[in-house]
Structure 1
Amino acid sequence: MRRLVTTYLSAALLLTGCGMDTTSDPLQVTDTLTAATPATSPPTTTPPAGTVHPAPPVQLTAYDRDTHTLALATSRTLLLIDTTTGAQRSIDLPSPPAALRAEAGRALAALPDSNQITRIDLRTATTQTTPVTGGPVDALDLDPHRTAVALRNPASVTILTDGTPTATTTGLKGPAQLLTAGGHLHILDRLTTAITPINPTTGDKGAGLRAGEGATNATTDRYGRILTIDTRGQEYLAFSAGPLIMKQRYPVPGAPYAIAYDPTRNLAWVTLTATNELVGYDIAGGEPTETHRLPTISQPNSIAVDPDTGTLYIASANGAGYQVVKP
């Protein structure tokens, strides 16, 4: 009970601080900002659960339920795997992607070194590129005409309407991941380890909240919450949107890094890079409840889930392959 009370008081204090009139950034606690990174995994000592398939080192993983396609980003190659037949196709990209999404038969990749975002038709394996200056590190389609893009330089978020910038958000440090929850757009900043709401029409920032000591990855759930991994602080955090309030905070030892959400079973799956494990939490209640703990391949830096079957796809960043688990 003491931990939960502390959580809500901390969230309230942060919200109050964000509303103060100050020339400094209330979310920046040091002049030297360093993004958290996954732990270097030890050698595996327990056989991984499920089935392991060979693959080069994988940086990003995404799954599309419409085409049953698993997309694996391996440096400048995007590997597309039909999970029903096992057939594979590959697409060469001009540079490594920093972010990868898959939905409704398409994948969307942000390529900062090429100053572009690329859409991939997962049925035909054809691509369509949109130039975006500033080194896009993430992109998210808001509707058929608008796309939010997080930029590396300058650190900002721009809204493209039919490919043309119409709004810009500045004053960020390390924008890394865009999320929509409860009908609201948010940005996860890995340098300030904070989540901040953004008005996609005007580009204005709302009151942000710190997300632990070193937030790295986040996703959303069917309750309109933002589920966040604090790798440095070794915690799972959940925030409601509109207004942004911390709702859950739970310890996750083992250097948690990647997260995926199964909306059918209300499970949040988190990879532990320090122990080569995958842990599943039931998050439907007021506090997460651990329901699964499975051994993984080494360096499990990315994960995706099939919401229809519950099948999990965990990929290794050091060349140990990708793992298919049906819990």
Structure 2
Amino acid sequence: MRRWLPAALAGTILLTGCSSSTDGDDLPTRDPATAAAAPAETARPAGEVMGLANPLGRLLVEAGTGQIAALEASSETSTILFLIDQASFARAGQGGVPDPSFRTLSLPAHGASLAQGKPGELLIPAPERIIRVDVATGTVTELPVDGDARSVQRRDDGTLLVGTADGKVRTLSPEGKVVRTVSGLASADALAVTADQVTVLDRRQTSVTEIELGDDHLGLALRAGDGATNMISDKFGRIIVTDTAGGELLVYSAGPLVLRQRFPVNSSPYALAYDQRSDTVWVTCTQSNEVVGFDLSTGIPVEVGRFPTVRQPNSVTIDQRTGDMFVGSAADSGLQRIRADDRKRGH
């Protein structure tokens, strides 16, 4: 049985653990929070912008090739995946047209998010499957999954963690066999792996919950603001969440799960990316068409940069090799690059 304690306790709400047989259908939930609609007028975006006709929902720089993977946001059935060589920006210029190094792939189902697979591979959760994309060849294969997959993470041993829309987190062997299933959430929308622990973001409960790897039940869970939307982890094992409805950035430690920092961001904070080189977390703000950087090394996030973006910046990613940042527009405004050197100069 899941039990809620008073919200006044450390600004969070504690949940008791649930067994793997518990269903999430009777849990108190809310409609998932979404990014706020961006204003029609915006400042000129920083850096360079590549024109794209399709709205973008997710971005990832694939670690093995350096290709930018951009997932279309508009379709509810099939999805287009864009694979973009970073050299295209130099040839396209501000608002330019992509050159032949720009590729599109039609996926067999609507992709919910993007994750890194083995080097050279992308993982895309979708209804009843995980879509695997070989970036070099463009080959698309599918791994069957029971349920509407919303999130996926690959572990170093090749196993996959898959979160589904009905609140289950499954562990799959490298061959796709179900090794373990943990249930009890309303939805499993994002996953973060830190050491021997998995943290799950549940947008319908606006909560974060820990699962010990190798265990069969949910662990400690905490309320994540008024309407959490996105979650990432960093190299220090911190769990970082955007509370879009509450306008805050939330920072948790893992093992045990503890809320360490909360900071008002306002302007509908949404997408997240972490720059390992500078230990900076970047947050897009859709109400103001901006991306804001925060240093988390002290007891409270410190703003270290703020840049105008393309309209409706619903996605952001960092190339960890260079520190260059890419922001995607969910309103047909294209793909933006802000170089690491330009951010240092405040451009």
TM-score, normalised to structure 2's length? Answer: 0.84
Task: Give deviations 1:146-202, integer Å, cap 9, x for gaps.
Answer: 2111112x3311111231112111111121001112331111000111111113323
SS of residue paired to 2:87: coil
Q: Which residue of 43, 58, 66 corresponds with 1:68?
A: 66
- Residue equivalent to 1:108: 123
Q: What CA deviation, in whole Å up to 9, does each residue of 1:17-43 have, x standing for no partner?
A: 5379xxx99x99x84521110000011
Equivalent residue, structure 2, for 1:205 = 218
RMSD over aligned CA atoms reads 2.4
SS in 1 for 2:10: helix
- 1:315–1:155: structure 2 CA closer, same or farther, 3 Å change rule? same
Q: For 2:320, what is the secondary structure of its paired residue? A: coil
TM-score by length of 1: 0.89
Partner of 1:4 in structure 2? none
Maintained 8 Å contact 1:146/1:159:
yes
Verify the 8 A CA contact 2:196 2:212 in the aligned structure 1: no
Match of 2:44 in 1: 47
- Select between 138-147 and 258-267 the one with higher mean Cα deviation: 138-147
Structure 2 residues without counterparts, runs of 5 or longer: 1-6, 90-100
For 1:10, the equivalent position in structure 2 comes to 10
Deviation for aligned residue 1:85: 5.0
Distance 2:259 2:29 in 1: 26
Q: Distance in 2 between matches of 1:257 and 1:214?
A: 10
The whole-number CA distance in structure 2 between the counterparts of 1:109 and 1:222 is 23
Of all paired residues, the percent bearing the same amino acid is 36
The residue correspondences of 1:70-219 to structure 2 (distance < 5 A) are: 70-74=68-72, 75=75, 76-85=79-88, 87-102=101-116, 104-112=119-127, 115-152=128-165, 154-161=166-173, 162-219=175-232
The superposition leaves residues 302-326 of structure 1 with CA deviations (integer Å, 9 ceiling, x where unpaired) of: 0001122221110011111111111
Matched residues in 2 for 1:149 and 1:19: separation? 19
User: 4+ runs of 1 displaced by more than 6 Å?
Assistant: none
After TM superposition, the structure 1 stretch with the greater mean CA deviation from structure 2, 255-264 or 177-186, is: 177-186
Gaps of 5+ in 1: 1-6
After TM superposition, the structure 1 stretch with the greater mean CA deviation from structure 2, 84-93 or 172-181, is 84-93
CA–CA distance in 2 between the matches of 1:19 and 1:163? 27
Q: Is the 8 A contact 2:132 2:140 kept in 1?
A: yes
Alpha-carbon distance between aligned partners in 1 of 2:46 and 2:258, rounded to the nearest angstrom: 36
Amino acid paired to 1:158? R
Q: Which residue of 1 aligns with 2:314?
A: 301
SS in 2 for 1:43: coil
Cα separation, 2, equivalents of 1:51 and 1:183: 40
Deviation at 1:210, TM superposition (A): 0.9
